[in-house]
Amino acid sequence: MVGLGFQALAAEVSYHREVVPVLQRHCYGCHHPGKLKGDVDLTSVSNLLKGGKHGAAVVPGDAAKSVLITEVSGADPAMPKDGDRLSPQQVELLERWIREGAHDDSPPAPPVRTESPVYQAPPVLGAMDFSGDGQWLAVAAYHEVLVFEAGTLRRVGRWVGSPARTDTVRFSPDSKRLAVVGGDPGVRGEVQVWDVGSGKALVRVAPSQDSLFGGDWSPDGTRLVVGGADRSVRVIDSGTGRESMRAMVHSDWVLGAVFAQGGSRLISGSRDRSLRLLEASNGRMLDVLNRETEPVVRLIRHPKEDRVAFAGGESRVRLYKTEAKPPNTDPGRDPNLVREFDSYGDGVTAVAFSADGLRLAHAGIPDGEARIQEVDSGKRVSTLKGHEGPIFGMAFSVDGARLVTGGYEGQLRVFEVSTGKLLTNFCPVEMGR
């Protein structure tokens, strides 16, 4: 049919779905709470409206008066100073969003849960950690962290209010606090700090609009570092939740980040296959540590030495030194690689060091088993069988005698490390009616 006298209206530009990815890629590296060039924070609509030294970055309805547009457009745009310029299509998208009123359609933050979930089936169990003082075991479940006495595995707490998907739980160096890192995919990334003595959340911050991964404490317990699905590496003050540094040095999700060299450096690992060495203070990239062979899907720090182990998305765990490569290294060489461990057909799902750093446990697909190897020699210590489905979390007891695992089947399994003998297994929560 023709001649109807009207045309289809284009949908309004979405800030959350369309504008944020452009700003993340080109602008967040220099204009975020931890790095306010020109006193400008571009990570929220409220801050875009506030602007900085030169006025509002965005004037709703008037793209010509919006500093954001004047800085990124023209034959020789002033911004971004480093990295790729915005394409004409991206500039037009931003202009159109502003002309339409610069509406904020970011989804509201989900309410913090206050009541324990009622389970109709065993929950998927993921991240877990033993406290360094040997008293507690923390296990992530659905919107809660389950806390157990380490010796008896008697459950003593259900800390309700964790993210929908918790990637990491990690006790502080003094065992007095617990960091919880995760988020609601595509909605928010969250960092929490819980007081172990009271079971209360001291810090809850959501600095990202997508999930966060791989939290690690600085040696002095004052900072946390996390990676993000937005390609970020963030350092966050563990007492206030304030973001002190953000680096955008990867081209894909950052699935792990840890401190190194006494807290002065960071190591980040990404789906872009790179393991990167950064300055902890400013996020400056110092080197790519590895020969980029497969996605980095899990990254952990050696408890005693400046080394890291990462789980590969395709095959195995690798152990690396955390120092810059020698100058003029042949791209085909991998001088920081210390050792490769046993291979899995379809990727590694969990990895953990013993507290003394002498043993490494890992699990993968499709085996449905965990393996423990000596770190120095690579010798297999034991094989832990009996799991039904993938293993997503594992942790050594502080004395190194036991390994606890959990995963898709919702069972906590406790093994004797030296023999691989199953000591006990149980569902850590009660089933509802």
Buried b (16+ CB within 10 A) or exposed e, 133-167: eebbbbbbbbbbbbbbebeebebebbbbbbbbbbb
Q: Do 185 and 230 fall into the same domain?
A: yes
Q: Please give the helix or strand (H or E) that residue 36 lies within, else none.
A: strand 35-36
The verdict on 192 and 257 lying in the same domain is: yes
CA distance between the termini of the chain? 58
Based on the fold, state whether residues 291 and 413 are members of the same structural domain.
yes
Q: Last residue of some domain: 50, 82, 99?
A: 99
- Look at residues 99, 57, 96, 98 and name the one whose alpha carbon lies nearest to residue 78: 57
What total of structural domains would you count in the chain? 2
In this structure, is residue 63 part of a structural domain? yes
Residue at which a domain ends, from 57, 78, 99? 99
Provide the domain limits for residue 78: 15-99
Assigned domain for 305 exists = yes
Per-residue pLDDT of the chain (433 residues; tens, 9 = 90+): 444 444 445 689 898 888 888 887 788 777 767 677 777 877 888 888 887 777 788 889 988 888 888 888 877 787 887 777 888 888 888 889 999 898 988 877 667 777 888 999 999 999 999 999 999 999 999 999 999 999 999 999 999 998 889 999 999 999 999 999 999 888 889 999 999 999 999 999 988 888 999 999 999 999 999 999 999 999 999 999 999 999 999 999 999 999 999 999 999 999 999 999 999 999 999 999 999 989 999 999 999 999 999 998 888 999 999 999 988 778 778 999 999 999 988 889 999 999 999 999 999 987 778 999 999 999 999 999 989 999 999 999 999 999 999 999 999 999 999 999 999 999 999 988 6
